[in-house]
């Protein structure tokens, strides 16, 4: 799993990635919940529902490359299938794709679970 991540950025870059994950995750979750509550039987709720799940994963910073890719694909699907304001799906698809490329950052569950570990080699007789 560690090969999916380029780095786990810390400091200002990590803060920027955290803000990007938060914005993309909130937009995906909000749009998905609104659409599912508006028309629960409509077939168009499938990409919005899948996008909402990807938004939750982005908010947590869990499986960020996969969630970002799924979010981008779902938003492009909505852009091509539905006739409505195209600006939001374009922005969210761009945020999802860039998160899939950049990675989750240091403040994420991915960094805690799959981050680089520091291992100290010791001789057996040292205490």
Domain membership flag for residue 79 = yes
| 3-class DSSP assignment, residue 57 | helix
Q: What is the pTM of this model?
A: 0.81
pLDDT digits (tens, 9 = 90+) for 97-113: 999 999 888 888 888 88
pLDDT digits (tens, 9 = 90+) for 54-84: 999 999 999 999 999 999 999 999 888 877 7
Domain membership flag for residue 123 = no
Number of compact structural domains in the chain: 1
DSSP string, 62-92: SSHHHHHHHHHHHHHHHHHH--S-SHHHHHH
Domain membership flag for residue 93 = yes
Cite the beta strand spans of 28-126 per DSSP E: none
């Amino acid at each position: 799993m560690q090969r999916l991540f380029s780095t786990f950025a810390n400091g200002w870059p990590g803060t920027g990635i955290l803000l990007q994950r938060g914005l993309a995750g909130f937009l995906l979750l909000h749009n998905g919940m609104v659409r599912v509550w508006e028309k629960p039987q409509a077939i168009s709720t499938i990409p919005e529902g899948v996008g909402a799940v990807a938004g939750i994963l982005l908010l947590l910073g869990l499986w960020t490359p996969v969630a970002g890719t799924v979010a981008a694909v779902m938003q492009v699907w909505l852009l091509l299938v539905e006739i409505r304001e195209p600006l939001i799906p374009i922005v969210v698809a761009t945020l999802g794709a860039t998160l899939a490329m950049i990675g989750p950052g240091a403040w994420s569950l991915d960094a805690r679970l799959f981050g680089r570990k520091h291992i100290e080699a010791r001789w057996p007789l040292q205490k």
